[in-house]
Copies of this chain bind each other. A is one copy, B any other.
Amino acid sequence: MPDDRISLVFAALADPTRRAILTRLTEGDATVAELAAPFDVSQPAISRHLKVLENAGLISRTRRATARLSHLQAEPLREVTTWLARYQRFWDESHERLDELLAALQGRGPDGRTDAAAKEEDDDGQDRDHR
């Protein structure tokens, strides 16, 4: 229940139902009812999962008549990938290509963020306070 962005994203991803919802959304926007269909949980439960995803910035929502469409927002996943890249050398010894990836990821996000800006927001090393 930490409330910093990356913690919210990791927590959101820790639930298989929510991951499955994200997977479904890669095929296109969907209503709550459509997202609920594959699961044997109540529809309010799905509404709450969607709220968690929205709160983590992983989906956005718009109305269409009485329905609400959920839309995948993958940007936080890119940030998580950037965070994980820090550990790449501990699983991969020949990581030249991965370094390229990291540079690519950090160098230009959709919002034009810089490497430094990206680093500042999620580096929870032991040398800093983390909320």
- A-side residues, CB < 8 A to B, are 2, 4, 6-7, 10-11, 13-17, 19-24, 26, 38-39, 72, 74-75, 77-78, 80-81, 84-88, 90-92, 97-98, 100-101, 104-105, 109-110, 124-127, 130-131
Contact = CB atoms under 8 A, between A and B. Distances in A.
B16 A130 contact: yes
A29 to B, nearest CB: 12
B92 A78 contact: yes
30 contacts: A2-B15, A4-B16, A11-B14, A14-B14, A17-B130, A19-B124, A19-B130, A20-B124, A20-B130, A21-B126, A22-B87, A23-B86, A23-B125, A26-B87, A39-B126, A72-B87, A74-B88, A74-B90, A75-B91, A77-B84, A77-B91, A81-B84, A81-B88, A91-B110, A92-B104, A92-B105, A97-B100, A97-B104, A98-B101, A101-B101
